[in-house]
A and B are shown apart, each in its own frame.
Chain A
Protein backbone atom coordinates (compact mmCIF):
# COMPACT_ATOMS: atom_id res chain seq x y z
CA UNK A 1 0.00 0.00 0.00
CA UNK A 2 1.22 3.50 -0.81
CA UNK A 3 0.78 6.52 1.40
CA UNK A 4 -0.27 8.67 -1.55
CA UNK A 5 -1.30 7.44 -4.95
CA UNK A 6 -2.34 10.01 -7.51
CA UNK A 7 -3.56 9.06 -10.94
CA UNK A 8 -4.27 11.39 -13.82
CA UNK A 9 -4.85 14.40 -11.60
CA UNK A 10 -5.76 17.65 -13.26
CA UNK A 11 -6.74 21.13 -12.23
CA UNK A 12 -7.51 24.26 -14.20
CA UNK A 13 -7.74 27.82 -12.96
CA UNK A 14 -9.85 29.43 -15.63
CA UNK A 15 -8.04 28.83 -18.88
CA UNK A 16 -4.71 28.09 -17.14
CA UNK A 17 -3.92 24.43 -16.68
CA UNK A 18 -2.13 24.18 -13.32
CA UNK A 19 -1.95 20.39 -13.10
CA UNK A 20 -2.41 18.12 -16.05
CA UNK A 21 -2.59 14.33 -15.90
CA UNK A 22 -0.27 14.09 -12.91
CA UNK A 23 0.69 10.68 -11.55
CA UNK A 24 2.47 10.43 -8.22
CA UNK A 25 3.27 7.61 -5.84
CA UNK A 26 4.53 8.17 -2.33
CA UNK A 27 5.39 4.87 -0.63
CA UNK A 28 4.82 4.36 3.07
CA UNK A 29 7.76 5.43 5.18
CA UNK A 30 9.07 7.75 2.48
CA UNK A 31 10.28 11.30 2.69
CA UNK A 32 9.15 12.42 -0.72
CA UNK A 33 10.94 15.44 -2.09
CA UNK A 34 8.54 17.20 -4.40
CA UNK A 35 10.52 19.44 -6.70
CA UNK A 36 9.60 21.87 -9.42
CA UNK A 37 9.95 25.41 -10.66
CA UNK A 38 7.78 28.23 -9.35
CA UNK A 39 4.29 27.81 -10.76
CA UNK A 40 4.91 24.21 -11.80
CA UNK A 41 1.90 22.95 -9.81
CA UNK A 42 3.51 21.70 -6.58
CA UNK A 43 1.41 23.72 -4.17
CA UNK A 44 -1.75 23.10 -6.18
CA UNK A 45 -1.11 19.35 -6.02
CA UNK A 46 -0.43 19.53 -2.29
CA UNK A 47 -3.60 21.53 -1.72
CA UNK A 48 -5.58 18.93 -3.64
CA UNK A 49 -4.05 16.12 -1.56
CA UNK A 50 -5.21 17.98 1.55
CA UNK A 51 -8.66 18.58 0.09
CA UNK A 52 -8.25 22.34 0.21
CA UNK A 53 -9.14 22.84 -3.42
CA UNK A 54 -11.44 20.65 -5.48
CA UNK A 55 -9.77 18.48 -8.11
CA UNK A 56 -10.52 18.92 -11.78
CA UNK A 57 -10.31 15.20 -12.50
CA UNK A 58 -8.33 12.09 -11.64
CA UNK A 59 -8.02 10.27 -8.35
CA UNK A 60 -6.14 10.75 -5.09
CA UNK A 61 -5.81 7.87 -2.69
CA UNK A 62 -4.31 8.19 0.78
CA UNK A 63 -3.35 4.86 2.32
CA UNK A 64 -5.59 3.09 -0.16
CA UNK A 65 -8.65 5.19 0.66
CA UNK A 66 -10.16 8.08 -1.23
CA UNK A 67 -8.75 11.41 -0.08
CA UNK A 68 -12.23 12.54 0.98
CA UNK A 69 -12.33 9.84 3.66
CA UNK A 70 -12.62 11.70 6.96
CA UNK A 71 -10.77 9.11 9.04
CA UNK A 72 -7.64 9.23 6.85
CA UNK A 73 -7.73 12.99 6.56
CA UNK A 74 -7.88 13.32 10.32
CA UNK A 75 -4.32 11.99 10.35
CA UNK A 76 -2.83 14.44 7.86
CA UNK A 77 -0.58 17.24 9.06
CA UNK A 78 -0.13 20.24 6.84
CA UNK A 79 2.02 23.28 6.39
CA UNK A 80 1.24 25.00 3.12
CA UNK A 81 2.51 28.50 2.31
CA UNK A 82 2.27 29.90 5.84
CA UNK A 83 1.40 28.52 9.27
CA UNK A 84 -2.33 28.89 9.87
CA UNK A 85 -2.18 30.82 13.12
CA UNK A 86 -4.17 33.69 14.54
CA UNK A 87 -1.87 36.68 14.91
CA UNK A 88 -3.47 38.00 18.06
CA UNK A 89 -3.24 34.71 19.95
CA UNK A 90 -0.15 33.32 21.64
CA UNK A 91 1.78 30.38 20.20
CA UNK A 92 0.37 28.23 23.00
CA UNK A 93 -3.24 29.26 22.32
CA UNK A 94 -2.81 28.60 18.60
CA UNK A 95 -1.37 25.18 19.32
CA UNK A 96 -4.13 24.38 21.78
CA UNK A 97 -6.75 25.36 19.21
CA UNK A 98 -5.33 22.91 16.71
CA UNK A 99 -5.04 20.24 19.42
CA UNK A 100 -8.71 20.78 20.20
CA UNK A 101 -9.53 20.63 16.51
CA UNK A 102 -7.76 17.27 16.33
CA UNK A 103 -9.54 16.04 19.44
CA UNK A 104 -6.26 15.09 21.11
CA UNK A 105 -7.03 13.60 24.55
CA UNK A 106 -4.01 14.89 26.49
CA UNK A 107 -3.70 18.11 24.51
CA UNK A 108 -1.42 20.09 26.81
CA UNK A 109 1.12 17.28 27.04
CA UNK A 110 1.10 16.80 23.27
CA UNK A 111 1.55 20.54 22.62
CA UNK A 112 4.52 20.66 25.00
CA UNK A 113 6.00 17.61 23.24
CA UNK A 114 5.83 19.06 19.73
CA UNK A 115 7.00 22.49 20.83
CA UNK A 116 10.02 20.81 22.40
CA UNK A 117 10.64 18.92 19.16
CA UNK A 118 10.99 22.17 17.24
CA UNK A 119 12.78 23.93 20.15
CA UNK A 120 9.97 26.43 20.67
CA UNK A 121 8.97 25.56 24.22
CA UNK A 122 10.51 28.79 25.53
CA UNK A 123 8.44 30.95 23.19
CA UNK A 124 5.03 29.38 23.84
CA UNK A 125 3.75 32.50 25.60
CA UNK A 126 4.76 34.85 22.76
CA UNK A 127 2.05 36.31 20.60
CA UNK A 128 2.26 34.78 17.16
CA UNK A 129 2.51 38.19 15.49
CA UNK A 130 5.64 38.95 17.54
CA UNK A 131 7.48 35.80 16.40
CA UNK A 132 10.28 36.02 13.84
CA UNK A 133 9.92 34.37 10.41
CA UNK A 134 11.93 31.33 11.51
CA UNK A 135 9.95 30.99 14.74
CA UNK A 136 6.68 31.19 12.83
CA UNK A 137 7.89 28.46 10.52
CA UNK A 138 8.78 26.27 13.50
CA UNK A 139 5.33 26.86 14.98
CA UNK A 140 3.80 25.87 11.65
CA UNK A 141 5.80 22.64 11.63
CA UNK A 142 4.90 21.95 15.27
CA UNK A 143 1.26 22.45 14.39
CA UNK A 144 1.56 20.00 11.51
CA UNK A 145 3.15 17.47 13.85
CA UNK A 146 0.31 17.62 16.37
CA UNK A 147 -1.72 14.46 16.75
CA UNK A 148 0.94 12.11 15.44
CA UNK A 149 -0.01 12.47 11.75
CA UNK A 150 0.35 9.54 9.39
CA UNK A 151 1.00 11.80 6.43
CA UNK A 152 2.71 15.17 6.52
CA UNK A 153 2.33 17.57 3.62
CA UNK A 154 4.84 20.38 3.90
CA UNK A 155 5.25 23.17 1.40
CA UNK A 156 8.58 24.96 1.75
CA UNK A 157 8.95 24.09 5.44
CA UNK A 158 12.62 25.04 5.50
CA UNK A 159 12.06 28.65 4.44
CA UNK A 160 13.29 31.09 7.02
CA UNK A 161 14.95 28.46 9.18
CA UNK A 162 18.49 28.97 10.42
CA UNK A 163 21.14 26.25 10.14
CA UNK A 164 20.19 24.77 13.50
CA UNK A 165 16.52 24.87 12.56
CA UNK A 166 17.22 22.95 9.36
CA UNK A 167 19.23 20.35 11.24
CA UNK A 168 16.40 19.93 13.74
CA UNK A 169 13.89 19.53 10.93
CA UNK A 170 16.03 16.86 9.29
CA UNK A 171 16.14 14.96 12.57
CA UNK A 172 12.39 15.36 13.06
CA UNK A 173 11.62 14.14 9.53
CA UNK A 174 13.88 11.11 9.86
CA UNK A 175 12.38 10.31 13.25
CA UNK A 176 8.82 10.48 11.92
CA UNK A 177 9.29 7.98 9.13
CA UNK A 178 11.45 5.50 11.00
CA UNK A 179 8.50 3.20 11.82
CA UNK A 180 7.97 2.75 8.08
CA UNK A 181 4.28 3.65 8.20
CA UNK A 182 4.31 7.40 8.24
CA UNK A 183 5.27 9.46 5.22
CA UNK A 184 6.21 13.02 4.40
CA UNK A 185 5.64 14.93 1.19
CA UNK A 186 7.92 17.93 1.27
CA UNK A 187 8.46 20.52 -1.39
CA UNK A 188 11.43 22.83 -1.18
CA UNK A 189 13.69 24.88 -3.37
CA UNK A 190 16.55 24.19 -0.96
CA UNK A 191 17.57 21.09 -2.89
CA UNK A 192 20.80 20.59 -1.00
CA UNK A 193 18.90 20.34 2.27
CA UNK A 194 16.24 18.16 0.71
CA UNK A 195 18.82 15.73 -0.60
CA UNK A 196 20.06 15.13 2.94
CA UNK A 197 16.75 13.61 4.03
CA UNK A 198 14.64 12.62 1.03
CA UNK A 199 14.24 8.93 0.22
CA UNK A 200 12.14 9.53 -2.90
CA UNK A 201 11.82 12.33 -5.40
CA UNK A 202 9.18 13.59 -7.75
CA UNK A 203 10.02 16.27 -10.27
CA UNK A 204 7.12 18.22 -11.68
CA UNK A 205 7.07 20.55 -14.63
CA UNK A 206 4.16 22.47 -16.15
CA UNK A 207 1.77 20.41 -14.03
CA UNK A 208 3.16 17.05 -15.17
CA UNK A 209 5.35 14.61 -13.29
CA UNK A 210 8.46 14.30 -15.41
CA UNK A 211 10.46 12.03 -13.13
CA UNK A 212 9.90 9.94 -10.04
CA UNK A 213 12.77 8.08 -8.45
CA UNK A 214 14.27 6.86 -5.22
CA UNK A 215 17.31 8.41 -3.60
CA UNK A 216 19.37 5.41 -4.75
CA UNK A 217 18.20 5.85 -8.30
CA UNK A 218 19.12 9.51 -8.12
CA UNK A 219 22.53 8.53 -6.84
CA UNK A 220 23.17 6.26 -9.80
CA UNK A 221 21.68 8.80 -12.22
CA UNK A 222 23.88 11.59 -10.94
CA UNK A 223 26.87 11.94 -13.18
CA UNK A 224 30.34 11.63 -11.76
CA UNK A 225 32.92 14.17 -12.76
CA UNK A 226 36.55 15.00 -12.40
CA UNK A 227 37.31 18.59 -11.43
CA UNK A 228 40.74 19.96 -12.22
CA UNK A 229 42.74 23.14 -12.02
CA UNK A 230 45.72 23.79 -14.22
CA UNK A 231 48.17 26.55 -14.91
CA UNK A 232 46.58 27.17 -18.32
CA UNK A 233 42.85 26.79 -17.87
CA UNK A 234 41.76 28.02 -21.30
CA UNK A 235 43.99 25.66 -23.21
CA UNK A 236 43.19 22.77 -20.91
CA UNK A 237 39.47 23.39 -21.43
CA UNK A 238 39.75 23.42 -25.20
CA UNK A 239 41.95 20.31 -25.21
CA UNK A 240 39.59 18.38 -22.96
CA UNK A 241 36.60 19.66 -24.95
CA UNK A 242 38.01 17.97 -28.06
CA UNK A 243 38.40 14.61 -26.32
CA UNK A 244 35.44 14.36 -23.90
CA UNK A 245 31.74 14.84 -24.55
CA UNK A 246 30.95 17.22 -21.70
CA UNK A 247 33.45 19.68 -20.29
CA UNK A 248 32.34 22.73 -18.31
CA UNK A 249 33.86 25.33 -16.05
CA UNK A 250 32.07 25.60 -12.71
CA UNK A 251 31.46 28.64 -10.49
CA UNK A 252 34.52 27.87 -8.37
CA UNK A 253 36.78 28.02 -11.42
CA UNK A 254 37.35 24.28 -11.84
CA UNK A 255 37.12 22.48 -15.17
CA UNK A 256 34.69 19.62 -14.84
CA UNK A 257 34.94 16.56 -17.06
CA UNK A 258 31.72 14.59 -16.71
CA UNK A 259 31.20 10.81 -16.83
CA UNK A 260 34.95 10.37 -16.41
CA UNK A 261 35.99 8.06 -13.62
CA UNK A 262 39.72 7.76 -14.31
CA UNK A 263 41.46 10.98 -13.34
CA UNK A 264 44.80 9.42 -14.22
CA UNK A 265 43.80 9.44 -17.90
CA UNK A 266 43.08 13.17 -17.78
CA UNK A 267 46.30 13.96 -15.98
CA UNK A 268 48.28 11.89 -18.49
CA UNK A 269 46.51 13.47 -21.48
CA UNK A 270 47.12 17.01 -20.27
CA UNK A 271 50.72 16.21 -19.36
CA UNK A 272 51.31 14.87 -22.88
CA UNK A 273 50.09 18.23 -24.15
CA UNK A 274 52.36 20.17 -21.85
CA UNK A 275 49.83 21.20 -19.24
CA UNK A 276 50.46 20.56 -15.60
CA UNK A 277 47.46 19.73 -13.35
CA UNK A 278 47.69 21.63 -10.06
CA UNK A 279 44.57 20.30 -8.36
CA UNK A 280 42.29 17.35 -9.05
CA UNK A 281 39.27 15.72 -7.40
CA UNK A 282 36.42 13.41 -8.31
CA UNK A 283 32.81 13.95 -7.23
CA UNK A 284 29.18 13.48 -8.21
CA UNK A 285 26.67 16.13 -9.13
CA UNK A 286 24.03 16.75 -6.48
CA UNK A 287 20.27 16.92 -6.71
CA UNK A 288 20.43 20.58 -7.60
CA UNK A 289 22.62 20.05 -10.64
CA UNK A 290 20.68 16.95 -11.63
CA UNK A 291 17.48 18.98 -11.49
CA UNK A 292 18.98 21.85 -13.49
CA UNK A 293 20.23 19.37 -16.09
CA UNK A 294 16.80 17.80 -16.31
CA UNK A 295 15.18 21.19 -16.79
CA UNK A 296 17.70 22.08 -19.49
CA UNK A 297 16.97 18.82 -21.29
CA UNK A 298 13.29 19.66 -21.14
CA UNK A 299 13.90 23.08 -22.66
Chain B
Protein backbone atom coordinates (compact mmCIF):
# COMPACT_ATOMS: atom_id res chain seq x y z
CA UNK B 1 0.00 0.00 0.00
CA UNK B 2 1.39 3.36 -0.98
CA UNK B 3 1.92 5.91 1.72
CA UNK B 4 0.38 9.30 1.03
CA UNK B 5 0.94 12.63 2.70
CA UNK B 6 -1.77 15.24 3.01
CA UNK B 7 -0.88 18.90 3.16
CA UNK B 8 -2.95 21.54 4.89
CA UNK B 9 -4.40 24.26 2.71
CA UNK B 10 -2.94 27.63 3.61
CA UNK B 11 -5.17 30.51 2.60
CA UNK B 12 -3.72 33.81 1.39
CA UNK B 13 -5.23 35.49 4.45
CA UNK B 14 -3.43 33.12 6.82
CA UNK B 15 -0.16 33.48 5.00
CA UNK B 16 -0.40 37.26 4.96
CA UNK B 17 -1.35 37.38 8.63
CA UNK B 18 1.64 35.29 9.66
CA UNK B 19 3.94 37.37 7.46
CA UNK B 20 2.64 40.59 9.00
CA UNK B 21 3.08 39.14 12.47
CA UNK B 22 6.70 38.25 11.64
CA UNK B 23 7.45 41.72 10.32
CA UNK B 24 5.80 43.62 13.14
CA UNK B 25 7.31 41.36 15.75
CA UNK B 26 10.70 42.02 14.20
CA UNK B 27 10.08 45.75 13.80
CA UNK B 28 9.38 46.14 17.50
CA UNK B 29 12.47 44.08 18.36
CA UNK B 30 14.75 46.13 16.13
CA UNK B 31 16.90 48.81 17.74
CA UNK B 32 17.13 51.08 14.75
CA UNK B 33 13.35 51.37 14.59
CA UNK B 34 13.35 53.00 18.04
CA UNK B 35 16.37 55.12 17.11
CA UNK B 36 14.65 56.46 13.99
CA UNK B 37 11.40 57.16 15.87
CA UNK B 38 13.34 58.87 18.66
CA UNK B 39 15.14 60.99 16.07
CA UNK B 40 11.80 61.90 14.50
CA UNK B 41 10.63 63.09 17.89
CA UNK B 42 13.77 64.95 18.94
CA UNK B 43 14.79 66.60 15.65
CA UNK B 44 11.85 69.08 15.46
CA UNK B 45 12.35 70.00 19.12
CA UNK B 46 16.06 70.66 18.56
CA UNK B 47 15.51 72.58 15.32
CA UNK B 48 12.72 74.74 16.74
CA UNK B 49 14.47 75.48 20.03
CA UNK B 50 17.85 76.16 18.46
CA UNK B 51 16.45 78.31 15.68
CA UNK B 52 14.41 80.30 18.20
CA UNK B 53 17.51 80.84 20.36
CA UNK B 54 19.44 82.08 17.36
CA UNK B 55 16.65 84.39 16.24
CA UNK B 56 17.98 87.91 15.70
CA UNK B 57 21.64 87.00 16.18
CA UNK B 58 23.99 88.62 13.70
CA UNK B 59 26.84 86.83 11.99
CA UNK B 60 29.47 88.79 10.07
CA UNK B 61 31.40 87.38 7.16
CA UNK B 62 35.02 88.34 8.04
CA UNK B 63 36.07 88.54 4.40
CA UNK B 64 33.23 90.61 2.96
CA UNK B 65 32.03 92.24 6.16
CA UNK B 66 28.45 91.47 5.22
CA UNK B 67 26.15 91.04 8.18
CA UNK B 68 23.55 88.29 8.20
CA UNK B 69 20.70 88.34 10.65
CA UNK B 70 19.52 84.88 11.65
CA UNK B 71 15.78 84.52 11.43
CA UNK B 72 14.11 82.03 13.72
CA UNK B 73 10.68 80.49 13.26
CA UNK B 74 7.68 82.66 14.02
CA UNK B 75 5.14 79.91 14.13
CA UNK B 76 5.15 76.30 15.33
CA UNK B 77 3.46 74.96 12.18
CA UNK B 78 6.33 76.09 9.97
CA UNK B 79 7.86 72.69 10.74
CA UNK B 80 4.87 71.05 9.10
CA UNK B 81 4.34 73.24 6.08
CA UNK B 82 4.21 76.72 4.60
CA UNK B 83 1.83 79.14 6.29
CA UNK B 84 0.11 81.97 4.44
CA UNK B 85 0.70 85.50 5.82
CA UNK B 86 -1.66 88.44 5.96
CA UNK B 87 -0.03 90.07 2.90
CA UNK B 88 -0.30 86.83 0.97
CA UNK B 89 3.39 85.90 1.19
CA UNK B 90 4.47 82.49 2.33
CA UNK B 91 5.91 82.08 5.81
CA UNK B 92 8.92 79.81 6.00
CA UNK B 93 9.26 79.13 2.28
CA UNK B 94 12.85 78.14 1.48
CA UNK B 95 14.55 78.93 4.79
CA UNK B 96 15.88 76.31 7.24
CA UNK B 97 12.37 75.51 8.43
CA UNK B 98 11.27 75.10 4.84
CA UNK B 99 13.92 72.45 4.21
CA UNK B 100 14.24 70.71 7.58
CA UNK B 101 10.61 69.97 8.18
CA UNK B 102 8.31 66.99 8.52
CA UNK B 103 8.92 65.99 4.90
CA UNK B 104 12.35 64.68 5.91
CA UNK B 105 10.48 61.70 7.30
CA UNK B 106 9.92 60.45 3.76
CA UNK B 107 13.68 59.99 3.56
CA UNK B 108 13.95 58.59 7.09
CA UNK B 109 11.50 55.83 6.22
CA UNK B 110 13.73 54.93 3.25
CA UNK B 111 16.58 54.23 5.66
CA UNK B 112 14.35 52.04 7.79
CA UNK B 113 12.80 50.06 4.92
CA UNK B 114 16.17 49.47 3.25
CA UNK B 115 17.86 48.27 6.42
CA UNK B 116 14.87 46.13 7.35
CA UNK B 117 14.59 44.34 4.01
CA UNK B 118 18.30 43.93 3.32
CA UNK B 119 18.65 42.49 6.85
CA UNK B 120 16.40 39.61 5.75
CA UNK B 121 18.87 38.73 3.01
CA UNK B 122 22.09 39.54 4.87
CA UNK B 123 21.16 37.40 7.87
CA UNK B 124 20.05 34.50 5.69
CA UNK B 125 16.57 34.69 7.17
CA UNK B 126 15.23 35.07 3.63
CA UNK B 127 16.12 31.39 3.10
CA UNK B 128 13.86 30.31 5.95
CA UNK B 129 11.21 32.72 4.83
CA UNK B 130 11.04 31.89 1.16
CA UNK B 131 11.52 28.15 1.53
CA UNK B 132 8.13 27.92 3.20
CA UNK B 133 6.58 30.68 1.09
CA UNK B 134 6.23 29.83 -2.55
CA UNK B 135 4.21 33.00 -3.18
CA UNK B 136 6.18 36.19 -2.86
CA UNK B 137 3.18 38.54 -2.89
CA UNK B 138 2.57 38.42 0.84
CA UNK B 139 6.22 39.35 1.49
CA UNK B 140 5.92 42.46 -0.66
CA UNK B 141 2.54 43.42 0.83
CA UNK B 142 3.74 42.87 4.37
CA UNK B 143 6.89 44.93 3.86
CA UNK B 144 4.85 47.73 2.27
CA UNK B 145 2.36 47.73 5.15
CA UNK B 146 5.18 47.67 7.66
CA UNK B 147 6.97 50.55 5.91
CA UNK B 148 3.72 52.49 5.76
CA UNK B 149 3.04 52.01 9.47
CA UNK B 150 6.61 52.96 10.32
CA UNK B 151 6.29 56.05 8.08
CA UNK B 152 3.03 57.02 9.73
CA UNK B 153 4.63 56.64 13.15
CA UNK B 154 7.55 58.82 12.10
CA UNK B 155 5.20 61.53 10.85
CA UNK B 156 3.18 61.43 14.07
CA UNK B 157 6.38 61.50 16.14
CA UNK B 158 7.62 64.51 14.18
CA UNK B 159 4.25 66.19 14.64
CA UNK B 160 4.38 65.62 18.40
CA UNK B 161 7.99 66.85 18.46
CA UNK B 162 6.94 69.97 16.58
CA UNK B 163 4.24 70.77 19.16
CA UNK B 164 6.67 70.14 22.02
CA UNK B 165 9.34 72.28 20.33
CA UNK B 166 6.84 75.07 19.74
CA UNK B 167 5.68 74.95 23.33
CA UNK B 168 9.25 74.97 24.69
CA UNK B 169 10.26 77.88 22.44
CA UNK B 170 7.07 79.77 23.16
CA UNK B 171 6.17 80.03 19.47
CA UNK B 172 2.72 80.88 18.20
CA UNK B 173 0.30 78.06 17.42
CA UNK B 174 -1.83 80.35 15.24
CA UNK B 175 -2.85 78.69 11.99
CA UNK B 176 -3.00 82.05 10.15
CA UNK B 177 -6.46 81.64 8.70
CA UNK B 178 -6.28 77.89 8.25
CA UNK B 179 -8.38 75.53 10.32
CA UNK B 180 -7.55 72.52 12.47
CA UNK B 181 -9.31 70.49 9.78
CA UNK B 182 -6.69 71.66 7.26
CA UNK B 183 -3.95 70.56 9.62
CA UNK B 184 -5.55 67.13 10.09
CA UNK B 185 -6.02 66.76 6.32
CA UNK B 186 -2.40 67.78 5.77
CA UNK B 187 -1.17 65.10 8.17
CA UNK B 188 -3.54 62.52 6.69
CA UNK B 189 -2.40 63.37 3.17
CA UNK B 190 1.25 63.05 4.21
CA UNK B 191 0.58 59.68 5.82
CA UNK B 192 -1.18 58.43 2.68
CA UNK B 193 1.61 59.82 0.53
CA UNK B 194 3.89 57.33 2.31
CA UNK B 195 2.15 54.73 0.12
CA UNK B 196 3.81 56.36 -2.88
CA UNK B 197 7.28 56.35 -1.37
CA UNK B 198 7.36 53.05 0.52
CA UNK B 199 6.74 50.78 -2.55
CA UNK B 200 9.67 52.50 -4.28
CA UNK B 201 11.94 51.73 -1.34
CA UNK B 202 10.60 48.15 -1.14
CA UNK B 203 11.25 47.58 -4.84
CA UNK B 204 14.79 48.95 -4.69
CA UNK B 205 15.54 46.96 -1.52
CA UNK B 206 14.30 43.61 -2.87
CA UNK B 207 16.32 44.21 -6.01
CA UNK B 208 19.44 45.11 -4.01
CA UNK B 209 18.96 42.15 -1.61
CA UNK B 210 22.09 41.83 0.60
CA UNK B 211 23.58 45.11 -0.61
CA UNK B 212 22.29 47.61 1.96
CA UNK B 213 24.44 50.43 0.56
CA UNK B 214 22.92 49.96 -2.88
CA UNK B 215 19.38 49.89 -1.46
CA UNK B 216 20.07 53.05 0.55
CA UNK B 217 21.66 54.98 -2.30
CA UNK B 218 18.95 53.89 -4.73
CA UNK B 219 16.10 54.64 -2.33
CA UNK B 220 17.41 58.03 -1.24
CA UNK B 221 18.10 58.93 -4.87
CA UNK B 222 14.72 57.68 -6.04
CA UNK B 223 12.98 59.35 -3.14
CA UNK B 224 14.69 62.66 -3.93
CA UNK B 225 13.10 62.67 -7.38
CA UNK B 226 9.65 62.75 -5.81
CA UNK B 227 10.61 64.68 -2.70
CA UNK B 228 9.87 68.14 -4.16
CA UNK B 229 6.27 67.20 -4.84
CA UNK B 230 5.55 66.50 -1.16
CA UNK B 231 5.04 70.16 -0.04
CA UNK B 232 3.02 70.83 -3.19
CA UNK B 233 0.65 67.89 -2.78
CA UNK B 234 0.36 68.10 0.99
CA UNK B 235 0.39 71.80 1.96
CA UNK B 236 -0.74 72.98 5.37
CA UNK B 237 -3.99 74.09 3.80
CA UNK B 238 -4.80 70.57 2.57
CA UNK B 239 -8.38 69.59 1.93
CA UNK B 240 -10.15 66.32 1.28
CA UNK B 241 -9.00 66.67 -2.34
CA UNK B 242 -5.35 66.41 -1.29
CA UNK B 243 -6.16 63.40 0.84
CA UNK B 244 -8.01 61.74 -2.06
CA UNK B 245 -5.17 62.50 -4.47
CA UNK B 246 -2.58 61.00 -2.11
CA UNK B 247 -4.82 57.98 -1.52
CA UNK B 248 -5.27 57.26 -5.23
CA UNK B 249 -1.59 57.88 -5.97
CA UNK B 250 -0.59 55.68 -3.06
CA UNK B 251 -2.80 52.82 -4.18
CA UNK B 252 -1.55 53.03 -7.76
CA UNK B 253 2.09 53.04 -6.68
CA UNK B 254 1.52 50.24 -4.17
CA UNK B 255 -0.19 47.96 -6.69
CA UNK B 256 2.07 48.78 -9.64
CA UNK B 257 5.42 48.72 -7.88
CA UNK B 258 4.28 45.83 -5.66
CA UNK B 259 3.68 43.73 -8.77
CA UNK B 260 7.15 44.59 -10.05
CA UNK B 261 8.73 43.74 -6.67
CA UNK B 262 6.89 40.42 -6.72
CA UNK B 263 8.25 39.68 -10.18
CA UNK B 264 11.79 40.61 -9.13
CA UNK B 265 11.58 38.16 -6.21
CA UNK B 266 10.20 35.42 -8.44
CA UNK B 267 12.81 35.77 -11.15
CA UNK B 268 15.96 36.31 -9.14
CA UNK B 269 18.01 34.36 -6.64
CA UNK B 270 16.86 34.83 -3.06
CA UNK B 271 20.15 33.90 -1.44
Q: Does B244 contact A (CB under 8 A)?
A: no
**B106 CB to closest chain A CB, in angstroms?**
26
Please, how many angstroms separate the alpha-carbon atoms of A262 and B268 in the complex? 59
* A-binding residues in B (CB < 8 A): 2-5, 7-10, 14-15, 17-19, 21-22, 25-26, 29-31, 119, 123-135, 266-271
Chain B residues positioned under 8 Å from A70 (CB to CB)? 10, 15, 133-135
Q: Are B2 and A1 in contact (CB under 8 A)?
A: yes
Q: Are A51 and B3 in contact (CB under 8 A)?
A: no
Please, how many angstroms separate the alpha-carbon atoms of A76 and B133 in the complex? 10
Given A52-B130, A73-B132, A143-B128, also A100-B10 (CB < 8 A) = no
Closest residue on chain B to residue A182 by CB atoms = B5
Q: Are B26 and A86 in contact (CB under 8 A)?
A: yes
Choose among B129, B267, B268 the residue with the greatest number of A CB atoms under 10 Å from its CB. B129
What are 14 A-B interface contacts by the 8 Å CB criterion? Answer: A47-B269, A52-B127, A53-B269, A54-B269, A63-B5, A69-B7, A74-B133, A76-B132, A78-B127, A84-B126, A84-B127, A86-B119, A86-B123, A143-B128
Q: Are A71 and B133 in contact (CB under 8 A)?
A: no
Q: Does A81 contact B (CB under 8 A)?
A: yes
Instruction: Select one of B25, B30, B125, B132 contacting A102, CB under 8 A.
Output: B132
Q: Are B123 and A74 in contact (CB under 8 A)?
A: no
Please, how many angstroms separate the alpha-carbon atoms of A15 and B31 in the complex? 42
Chain B residues positioned under 8 Å from A81 (CB to CB)? 124, 127, 271
How many residues of A are counted as interface, with CB atoms below 8 angstroms from the partner's CB atoms? 47
Q: Does A122 contact B (CB under 8 A)?
A: no
Chain A residues positioned under 8 Å from B132 (CB to CB)? 73-76, 101-102, 147
Choose among B119, B130, B131 the residue with the greatest number of A CB atoms under 10 Å from its CB. B131
Q: How many A-B residue pairs have CB under 8 A?
A: 122
Q: Are B3 and A1 in contact (CB under 8 A)?
A: yes
Please, how many angstroms separate the alpha-carbon atoms of A63 and B2 in the complex? 12
Please, how many angstroms separate the alpha-carbon atoms of A150 and B3 in the complex? 13
Q: Are A84 and B25 in contact (CB under 8 A)?
A: no
Please, how many angstroms separate the alpha-carbon atoms of A82 and B123 in the complex? 9
Q: Are B3 and A28 in contact (CB under 8 A)?
A: yes
Instruction: Select one of B22, B25, B129, B267 contacting A54, CB under 8 A.
Output: B267
Q: Are B134 and A84 in contact (CB under 8 A)?
A: no
Q: Are A84 and B3 in contact (CB under 8 A)?
A: no
**B59 CB to closest chain A CB, in angstroms?**
44
Instruction: Select one of B10, B30, B124 contacting A74, CB under 8 A.
Output: B10
**B41 CB to closest chain A CB, in angstroms?**
22
Chain B residues positioned under 8 Å from A276 (CB to CB)? none
Which of A89-97, A164-172, A203-211 is the interface stretch? A89-97
* B-binding residues in A (CB < 8 A): 1, 28-29, 47, 50-54, 63, 65, 67-78, 80-89, 93, 96-98, 100-103, 143, 147, 150, 153, 180-181
Chain A residues positioned under 8 Å from B134 (CB to CB)? 51, 67-70, 73
Chain B residues positioned under 8 Å from A101 (CB to CB)? 18-19, 22, 128-129, 132-133
Q: Are B131 and A78 in contact (CB under 8 A)?
A: yes
The 9 closest A-B pairs by CB, nearest first: A84-B124, A103-B18, A84-B125, A70-B134, A71-B7, A50-B131, A84-B128, A78-B131, A53-B269
Q: Are B123 and A71 in contact (CB under 8 A)?
A: no
Chain A residues positioned under 8 Å from B269 (CB to CB)? 47, 52-54
**B198 CB to closest chain A CB, in angstroms?**
21
**B27 CB to closest chain A CB, in angstroms?**
11
Closest residue on chain A to residue B26 by CB atoms = A97
Instruction: Give 11 A-B pairs besides A53-B270, A76-B132 with Cβ atoms closer than 8 angstroms.
Output: A1-B5, A51-B134, A71-B8, A72-B7, A74-B133, A77-B131, A81-B271, A97-B26, A98-B128, A143-B128, A150-B7
Please, how many angstroms separate the alpha-carbon atoms of A101 and B267 in the complex? 22
Please, how many angstroms separate the alpha-carbon atoms of A118 and B253 in the complex? 46
**A30 CB to closest chain B CB, in angstroms?**
12
Q: Are A54 and B266 in contact (CB under 8 A)?
A: yes
Please, how many angstroms separate the alpha-carbon atoms of A83 and B128 in the complex? 9
Closest residue on chain B to residue A47 by CB atoms = B271
Q: Are B18 and A100 in contact (CB under 8 A)?
A: yes
Given A54-B267, A103-B18, also A181-B3 (CB < 8 A) = yes
Q: Are A51 and B131 in contact (CB under 8 A)?
A: yes
